[in-house]
Structure 1
Amino acid sequence: MQQTAHRARSQRRQGALAVLRHVHAHPAATRADVARALGLSSGSATEITARLKAARLVAEADPRPTGERGRPSPALVAHPRGPLVCVVDIGHEHWRVATVELGGRIAGLESGRHPDRDADAVLDHLRGKVAAVRRRYGPRVRAVSVAVAGTVRGGTVMQASGMGWSEVDLRRLLPGSGTPLLVGNDASLSGLAEARRGVGVGARVVLHLTVEVGVGGILVVDGRPVDGATGAGGEFGHMPFGDPARACPCGAHGCWDLEVDGRAMARVLGQPPPRDPRTTAERTLRAAAGGDPSARAAVAAAARALGRGVGGLVNALDPDVVSLSGLAIELATTAPDDLNAGYRAGLMRFRRADPPPLLSSTLGPLSPVTGAAEAAFDALLTDEGLESWLADTG
């Protein structure tokens, strides 16, 4: 009898999680949509939805007019007092702090530029922002998820060359807190976002690449990031696709990073290494778009190097699509022929007739926020996460 009751509770919990995951992945789905997608009877979908509404996990909202006859079904949406995740996005120059609800909608966003790149100063400032979010929403904040422009292992930024950080422990953002903290590389999280909510939707294998200061990205397979044994995977910019005599700040030689960003452009232009490679790249791209021949040569060289590296990764990883973000989009726009020539030259012969398309991101600069929220909800929409929510709010 006890085993039967336990099995029934487990089945109810799994049914609730399946519905929650579907609502998160498909915002504004109706009960009928959920029933069809999950193979549920109408009665089961109604019963599960009622339990989720009572637990303040979902709500039903008036649907958008469709123009068709009859009254459309209510949409399942995040509950107005439901769980939230706090996302912290730490870029080379900027910061963002967002609150995100079930379904991926950004419910609140604050942003600014770092007055000082010193790790202590940045984390002290952001710790205050996170504390303010937690004071405002209380136990509704179920996790803090951080996207950072650096190599990450666990909760530590092992290296963020653009900011001069080395082995910075991000657990300082949540001192003495029981709230879970997740940390990921911003480019990798952008790739997760593109695969689930951007240009990669519907593709099984997505290779995402972004150029900011160097190249970052991730391979996403079946909606899951392939980030390695310790979470430090996706550092594609440190593949040896460059000059083997050229030292990289990471400690390796010949890194692809050094061939595609503002450092490469400055080198072609005969300029000294820039303090801010991204600003140098943006300035050079503008000049190239305006017709400056020297700038066009610098951009063309970076675009060809980007294309060759993409070809090498496609040979190795065999993606369905390649999504591009950051300065990679501007390189593709300003020097498309050079990018494509480099890409084709880097591909194995059998791939050239039908290579994976290079697609520009549709999520823009908020893609790291979206990806960090996705990673957090992956951790929350579990048996443990559901039980914790019911214990804290029931």
Structure 2
Amino acid sequence: MTTRSTELLRVVHHRPGVTRADAARLLGVGTGAATELVTKLSRANLLVQAPATPSGARGRPTTVLLPHPEGPLVLAVAIYHEAWRIDVVELGGTTTASRTGRHATTDWVAVRTAVAAAIDELRTRYGPRARAIGISVPGTVSRTFRLDASGLHWHDVDLTELWPTADVFVAGNDATLAATAESSRGAAAGASLALHVRVEGGLGGAMVENGRPVIGARGAAGEFGHMPFGDPAIRCPCGAHGCWSSVVDGGALARLLGDRPPRDPITYARRVIATARAALPATAAAAASGPGPAAGDAEAALAAVQVVGAALGRGIAGLVNGLDADLVTVGGLGADLLATVPDAIHAAYHDGLMTIHRDAPPPVLPATLGDDDGPVAGAAEEAWSALFPRLA
């Protein structure tokens, strides 16, 4: 495939329904060359042309470019701390099918077996149209696709076992891929340097420069949760002391409330955050008149959530001071914290900023893509990026 053919596919992927005239303008080619490219890609079952919605203006009707209904597909896999999801994604980002499941165990063999079976079923259903796979996981991924997820005790896991014969195989950390998705289709679209912070069972993130994540020499860039912004007395499963993630996750809330370490820290954290909302001024009256947590429980939960929110805000300030981002997006439990205790987060964030950032601090925004959507969308984007040059 020519470079311009690949560029045209990228244009349609990011702007499905783009007119042929606009596509030609974006590529910097004439209408004749654009028509030739579209014809070539249509014959290869990659694109189709359709009439544009009538505008009422005079002149020759234009056409729009759309994915071919029999065109290639990618499988986007997201493995979370407590569940997994597989989306079948066409050119343009539309999901045509999805499979989900939960894993009550942290035994990798059991998780791998369930996910691989679902992948095999989808490959059988779609046949040769399934051309690539992208995988999001809650840990560090090496350049040889070996996973280390300390929070789940998965070490040196070979991710290629999920589809050993895949021609196009990509994989990455869930927070990094969520950051990629936010920069391409979410709240950070258009930012030249965006930071994404994702809180789930731990804390991760990524720096995305001009749409591409910085992954580091070993694929471990963005492990923000293991920066020493936390309590030095707390030892992290990664082996270090004082990790930032240890003061913002479900385990941190449990310590503040005097509870045992939660078996499912994400579920536990969401329950505490929901309880904390009952103590907020806007919801306290409604909670008092109906079923809900006791006032003391809600107030204790709110106090714990405020402490964790402040720890999140301080850490974000440290990242902005060091990396000079345009904006920060916050996903996962971080978005729930931002919605519940924004004052605690923003106060700590502003207090931690260098003077040069305080007049116009980079905004801290909730991620547009949902908790489950960001990583799987990012996995799809990475798979499509790797597949484009191979399409014929």
Larger mean Cα displacement after TM superposition, 72-81 or 203-212: 72-81
Match of 1:129 in 2: 118
Match of 2:186 in 1: 198
Match of 1:250 in 2: 238
1:273-303 alpha-carbon deviations (Å, 9 max, x no partner)? 2222112211111111001211111000000
Residue 192 of structure 1 aligns to which amino acid in structure 2? T
Match of 1:43 in 2: 32
Of all paired residues, the percent bearing the same amino acid is: 49
- Equivalenced residues, count: 373
Q: 1:314 to 1:266 in 2, by over 3 A?
A: same
Q: Does structure 1 residue 339 correspond to structure 2 residue 345?
A: yes
Q: CA deviation at 1:88?
A: 1.2
Q: Distance in 1 between matches of 2:13 and 2:101?
A: 29
Q: CA deviation at 1:370?
A: 1.0
Q: Is the CA contact (8 Å cut-off) linking 2:82 and 2:264 kept in structure 1? A: no
Q: Does structure 1 residue 289 correspond to structure 2 residue 261?
A: no
Q: Does structure 1 residue 165 correspond to structure 2 residue 171?
A: no
Residue 230 of structure 2 aligns to which amino acid in structure 1? G
Q: Is the CA contact (8 Å cut-off) linking 1:156 and 1:167 kept in structure 2? A: no
Q: Is the CA contact (8 Å cut-off) linking 1:195 and 1:201 kept in structure 2? A: yes
Picking from 129, 145, 151, the partner of 1:140 is: 129
Q: Distance in 1 between matches of 2:308 and 2:57?
A: 51
Q: Distance in 1 between matches of 2:54 and 2:272?
A: 47
Q: CA deviation at 1:13?
A: 0.9
Match of 1:6 in 2: none
Q: Distance in 1 between matches of 2:50 and 2:22?
A: 15
Picking from 37, 40, 62, the partner of 1:73 is: 62
Picking from 333, 348, 352, the partner of 1:327 is: 333
* TM-score, normalised via structure 2 length: 0.91
Match of 1:111 in 2: 100
Match of 2:383 in 1: 376
Q: Is the CA contact (8 Å cut-off) linking 1:155 and 1:182 kept in structure 2? A: no
Q: 1:99 to 1:71 in 2, by over 3 A?
A: farther
Q: 1:69 to 1:329 in 2, by over 3 A?
A: farther
Q: Distance in 1 between matches of 2:257 and 2:56?
A: 58
Match of 1:279 in 2: 267
Q: Is the CA contact (8 Å cut-off) linking 2:168 and 2:383 kept in structure 1? A: no
Q: CA deviation at 1:195?
A: 0.2
Q: Does structure 1 residue 227 correspond to structure 2 residue 210?
A: no
Match of 2:288 in 1: none
Q: 1:307 to 1:71 in 2, by over 3 A?
A: farther
Query: What SS class does the counterpart of residue 302 from structure 1 fall into?
Result: helix
1:66-85 alpha-carbon deviations (Å, 9 max, x no partner)? 56666752221111111111
Q: Distance in 1 between matches of 2:95 and 2:61?
A: 26
Query: What SS class does the counterpart of residue 46 from structure 1 fall into?
Result: helix
Q: Distance in 1 between matches of 2:301 and 2:221?
A: 33
CA RMSD of aligned residues (A): 1.6
Match of 2:293 in 1: none
Residue 7 of structure 2 aligns to which amino acid in structure 1? A
Q: Distance in 1 between matches of 2:60 and 2:331?
A: 41
Q: Distance in 2 between matches of 1:70 and 1:321?
A: 43
Q: Which runs of 5+ in 1 are unaligned?
A: 1-11
Larger RCO of the pair (alpha carbons < 8 Å, separation 6+): 2
